[in-house]
Amino acid sequence: MNFYIIIPAHNEQAYIGKTLESLVQQTLLPKAVVVVNDNSTDHTQQIAEDYAAKYHWVSVVNCTSSDTHLPGSKIINAFNKGLDALDDAYDIICKFDADLIFTSNYLEQISNHFQANTTLGMASGFCYIEKNGNWVLENLTNKDHIRGALKAYRKDCFNQIGQLKPAMGWDTVDELLAKFHGWEILTDETLHVKHLKPTGQSYNKASKYLQGEAMYKMRYGFRITFISALKLAYKKGSLRLFRDYMAGYYKAKSDKVEFLVSEDEGKFIRELRWNGIKTKFQR
């Protein structure tokens, strides 16, 4: 299968070389890798261009955006710059972070999953972070959720969900919309990907309010938002975040922020979320 990979990168000089090196060592090589150098002030561009000089299927796109860390919009806008630079001769499109080290069989195994199941719309492995010299699962979400750091989409699924939303919560709404359209999602626990920079390390307080806004924009409603915000804050080890998430939700509701999904999609999402909550309470 033809894999196209887009890597948004902002000041990733400490990691981007390791990510690219793991990709050029794949048993199934990608057909194209685009590094989107997004307003970096370090050596990210030079490192990426060094790889582009060695491998014809690696390229670099430069773009300029705000230095402010805005989860969702900044990274997806950069992703879209990379997408614009590619043709559509791919089977699988990937959005990867610039701080990952992939096992050498990663793309081959993901390809096997897609080939074995024509209804599979998205697939990934798992992120591991280093703690006290050991690599442990970065346990921030359910194991059936594909982390935003390493998304791989079948082309038809990618297009049917309307591609990626430039907003906080994009890496949740994509899965919900995929399920709405009948696609399956798979996470392979045997594929361990080293995540060199833990998620949320650069988040500021303003960006944290966006998590609650995202729940509003996905039409969760109050009750599901309350449960989801409490669970997420608990997983991140800071119940203070619960207050931030709920404040973001109420602000979005007060401002009548535009939704990311339609009413029918929102109804499906709420039913899916409630079924998931009920299943956990029944265990």
Q: How confident is the model over 167-179, as pLDDT tens digits?
A: 888 999 999 999 9
Helix (H) or strand (E) segment spanning residue 150 = strand 150-154
Whole-angstrom Cα distance, residue 43 to residue 110?
31
Lowest average pLDDT, out of 6-10, 37-41, 65-69, 190-194, goes to 65-69
Q: What pLDDT score was predicted for residue 107? A: 98
- In the prediction, which pLDDT does 237 show? 82
Q: Which of 195, 229, 253 represents a domain boundary (last residue)?
A: 195
The pTM of this model reads 0.90
Residues 159, 25 share a domain: yes
Pair 140, 105: CB distance under 8 Å: no
How many contiguous H segments (helices) and E segments (strands) does the chain have? 10, 9
| In a shared domain, residues 132 and 191 | yes
Band (pLDDT 50/70/90 cuts) for residue 210 is: confident
pLDDT at 69: 53
Q: Are residues 216 and 144 in the same domain?
A: no
Is residue 70 over pLDDT 90? Answer: no
Q: Are residues 87 and 50 in the same domain?
A: yes
Report the pLDDT value the prediction gives residue 165, as an integer from 0 to 100: 93
Whether residue 246 sits in one domain with residue 159: no
Does the structure show a pLDDT above 90 at 254?
A: yes
| 172 and 255, same domain (yes or no) | no
Same domain, 186 and 255: no
CA pair distance 175, 171, nearest whole angstrom = 7
Residue 175 has a pLDDT of: 96
Tell me what pLDDT residue 233 has. Answer: 87
Q: Name the residue range of residue 98's domain.
A: 3-195
What percent of the chain clears pLDDT 70, i.e. is strictly above it? 93
